[in-house]
Amino acid sequence: MGRINFCKYGGAVVWTAGLAMLLAVLSLRYGVIENNLLPRNCDAGAVSDPAWQCALKWGLVQTFHDQRLGWFSLACGLGAFALSCRRLAWAGWLSGIAGLVLYSYDYAAVGALSALLVLLRSQGGQGECQTRQ
């Protein structure tokens, strides 16, 4: 897989990936969580509920608990900003979008924006976008 030329595409890949994540998380929130499609009671006595639904509900609750998704986005975004690491920036950007929708917006907003600064910043200055002859 080749490198993506941001000078050629103008950051469209970043916005497209962000939009795809936003649509996926919005469908999860309003299609599954808000519609009560997950079981209410996942105790050991509730045999009628499938185990995968209870596992999915437990995983979602863990991301909301103590705003863990927002803290993850903040750590990735600030780490990416400090280290100029694009992989951390991608993790911070996408988890930040998810955190904004999934109830962790306090820390996710800062993490997503700091990651976005790294993703949209040209790496070699203005000379990187010039054609080489």
- Whether the CA torsion 126, 128, 130, 133 is positive or negative: it is positive
What is the token pair recorded at 71? 């803290």
pLDDT tens, position by position, 92-114: 999 999 999 988 889 999 999 99
Residue 2 lies in a domain: no
CA 130/CA 133 separation, integer angstroms = 9
Question: pLDDT-derived band of residue 5, with 50, 70 and 90 as boundaries?
Answer: low
Which structural domain, as residue segments, surrounds residue 79?
Answer: 8-38+52-122
- Whether the CA torsion 66, 68, 72, 74 is positive or negative: it is negative
Residue 18 lies in a domain: yes
pLDDT tens, position by position, 67-96: 999 999 999 999 999 999 999 999 999 999
Specify the number of domains making up the chain.
Answer: 1
